[in-house]
Amino acid sequence: MAEFDPQFLQYAALIAHQLKSPVTAAMSLIQTVLGEFAGPLNPRQKELLEKALQRCGQSVQTSQRLLAIANALKNPQRFSGTSDLADILRRVQMQFADQAVGRDITLELDVAEASMPAIGLDAALTEAFEALVHNALKYTPDHGRIQLTLRPGATVDTLRINIADSGVGIAVADRERVFEPFFRTSTARSSDRPGTGLGLAFVKAVVEACGGSIHVSRSEMGGALFEVTLRSASSTQSISLGDKPMPSGWKVLIIGGVAAGPKVAAKIMRLRPDAQVTIVDKGKLLSYAGCGLPFYISGVVKNQAQLMSSAVGDLRDSVFFQKVKNVRVLNQTEALRIDRAKRRVQVRDMNTGRDSWLEYDKLVLATGATPVVPEIPGVDLKNVFTLHGVTDAEGIKGALDTGRAHDVVIIGGGLIGIEMTEALVQKGCRVTIVEQRSQILSMLDEDMALLVERHLEGHGVRTLTGTSVVGLEGENNAVKTVRTDKGILSADLVILATGIRPNSSLAQNAGLEIGVTGGVKVDDHLRSSDENIYAAGDCTETTHIVTGKPCYMPLGSTANKQGRSVAVNLCGGDDRFPGIIGTVACKVFECNIVRTGLNEVEAHRDGYKTVCVLAPGPDREHFVPQARTLMLKLVVDVRTRRLLGAQAIGPGHADKRLDVAALAINAGFNVDQIAQLDLCYAPQFAPVMDNLIMAANVARNKLDGYLHGVTPKQVHQRLQAGEALCLLDVRTPVELGYMRMPGATHIPLGALRERLHEVPKDKPIIAFCNYSLRGYEAALILRHAGYDNVAVMDGGLVMWPYEKIQ
């Protein structure tokens, strides 16, 4: 083999390191544009940008390989350790299976039944064998064959791995030179196959850094045969975790690979690179953004891989965790039971049905949640989904894309059901939400939930509250109708959105303590009742910061924070997880829906005497064209004046107000402190008195007796009961032409002092305008004029969720 200059390679690696960051940043910008966050794209623009993104990805891969080769030459000790070659080859075969099937190439794997672990870093060897199989696929014509074999080597302390193909082969004269950096054979150069000549150089550097060797010859199939020889590890160099040998060291086993589990693994490897971390997950996919599934169904997210990718485009699959994090991932593997006495978990390979035991020093349960499926006839019919994972999302998307779903019934009016409505309507579906409770979105108070219902109805979504589903009926084993206690609904597609429950059965069967909410009970360090077992994410019960009581509110944000805390504590730190206050956000059509802390019902249930505020207004100065309405509700403790909770809905910027409210609740602020917060102001960002500050001042006026308010719900109930009220509308005549309340007396605020004689003194007076700011002014005028029974309707006409004449 011709010699190459290592200094040249080090110099090339330095350049690659400098180029990697800006290219990665460029990829992020391209992805932003592709997501149409900067405006719509036509098909040709998307095609060109996707090609540019692909080229950038190739550049990053080239940089990574140059750096890896340089590291292998400079620091071969970094490639020590032991790896299960059979496991690596199975994962590599799975990774390229779809590509091979698409080209009708047979991709075979033949592994000796008993094989010793090999010396070499798992992540590095995975990358090397990926490069060899990718190379074989590149140069093997369609309808060809590629075979991977693993056998004992020529000596007892070696292993032999062959990668043979039926491709174009490599000329004898080039068989040594193909391992030189940047060398490409004449066949490769004359073809249209992309390449830099670094793949095989990378493979050789990794193999030799692991103490092995690699050679190329002609295969019996006529193409190339790459023969890799690696040293076999002795039994003293590894500890057997069932049939998965791992290096000796501190072993952390994580059950669950969606949110909390991967976060635990990634943080542990940053703190303890010597740890041996294994993730076991029943599913095929891991670390995916479940909250993004509605966006995938609607088509906003074009490819499900985006839901499993980092911000810079790295696909967080099992290979990613192996190569980047050095974390062993056993997906499609089910955890069956925990043997706490021997610190081991029995698992089952779902592909082979084979059971084995995995040992641990510390165990982390991140088993997530299970969808609640109502016990009604017909739930097993086709086209009935729960939307709890990518499989369901693919089923729903398939039904929508093929035009088979015209009438869709969502059973359950919680977050999942509401978030799905927009995607379905955009696909042309007629959507009906059936909710057993008296309102949708139980996280909100009824008055706020009613406003969301009106918003949904304005976009053609039918909401049936106080309605129970008694059964599903179908034709040809596919759902066709939904039978309720109030009638029958047509349905081509049904989504069960009746909630989720913690998946804590594995913990319960192991004798771990389960909380009152059904989740695994943990302390503030997220330790279970067994000091060697931690729990995080949707399977875990947590504490509500406001009440100090156990609660269960599964969120991806909570799972990731808990995952980080678990990792820090496992590695000897002291990271206390204080609990949650239930901050939740969603969006449907143009309406943002956010809540934090306690709602009014929850506060009363926990014994608080409260004062509540409904405060609508523009989210920016009214003269800014981008100003949008935001409707706030605050729940305040009368005794301490402390903010207990907040809710916000509307097209305006709700999240930033609720983020400030969440911080205030965590800090124990009262409304007097909130009213004096020094928040950002500029007309394009906020009104001069921010919406949250304005709402806090309304609460102060109520607490101090300056304002007597009644809610729209209270007004509606009094009207329904036949009480004689004077509803005083103090808006201008122009505003009256846009919208009015039935039965209201109209006197503009500017004319009220001159027309006081028109206001009766023998009826309760309730003043209002659009936002009720002028209603407050009217109430002050009336009180000063001797009217005693005067109130202001909270939230004004904007937050009146009942009948209005337009």
pLDDT (tens digit per residue) in 697-743: 999 999 999 999 999 999 999 999 999 999 999 999 999 888 888 88
The CA distances from residue 768 to 544, 587, 628, 779, 783, in Å, are: 36, 29, 20, 9, 15
Per-residue pLDDT at 204: 86
Angle among Cα 232, 236, 242 to the nearest 5 degrees reads 85
Per-residue pLDDT at 112: 74
d(CA 767, CA 759) in angstroms, rounded, equals 11
Per-residue pLDDT at 307: 56
Angle among Cα 605, 606, 609 to the nearest 5 degrees reads 85
Which residue in the list 56, 291, 429, 612 is annotated as catalytic? 291
Can you tell me whether residue 125 is helix, strand or coil? Answer: helix
For residue 660, give the nearest of 625, 628, 695 by alpha carbon.
Answer: 695
571 as an active site residue: the answer is no
d(CA 255, CA 506) in angstroms, rounded, equals 10
**Structure token pair of residue 465:** 């509250």
Residue 261 in contact with residue 567, Cβ under 8 Å?
A: no
Residue ranges in the chain modelled with pLDDT below 70: 1-21, 24-25, 28, 32, 35-38, 57-81, 113-116, 122-123, 182, 185-198, 233-249, 284-293, 295-296, 298-325, 389-390, 804-806
Query: Which CB contacts under 8 angstroms, 24+ apart, belong to 196-200?
Result: 196/62, 198/62, 198/65, 198/66, 198/69, 199/65, 199/131, 199/134, 199/135, 200/131, 200/135
For residue 450, give the nearest of 8, 55, 803, 19 by alpha carbon.
Answer: 803
Residue 91 in contact with residue 37, Cβ under 8 Å?
A: no
**Structure token pair of residue 275:** 């740890």
Sequence letter at residue 413: G
DSSP assignment of 427-458 equals TT-EEEEEESSSSS-TTS-HHHHHHHHHHHHH
Per-residue pLDDT at 14: 53
**Structure token pair of residue 745:** 């007396």
d(CA 564, CA 557) in angstroms, rounded, equals 11
Q: Which residues of 525-573 form beta strands (DSSP E)?
A: 533-535, 542-543, 550-551
Strands 244-247 and 238-241: antiparallel
Per-residue pLDDT at 488: 96
Strands 251-255 and 362-365: parallel
Residue 30 in contact with residue 55, Cβ under 8 Å?
A: no
Strands 493-496 and 407-411: parallel
How many helices and strands (H and E) does the chain possess?
21, 39
For residue 641, give the nearest of 680, 608, 666, 617 by alpha carbon.
Answer: 608
Residue 393 in contact with residue 296, Cβ under 8 Å?
A: yes
Per-residue pLDDT at 456: 95
Per-residue pLDDT at 24: 65
Quickly count: other Cβ atoms within 10 Å of residue 576's Cβ. 12
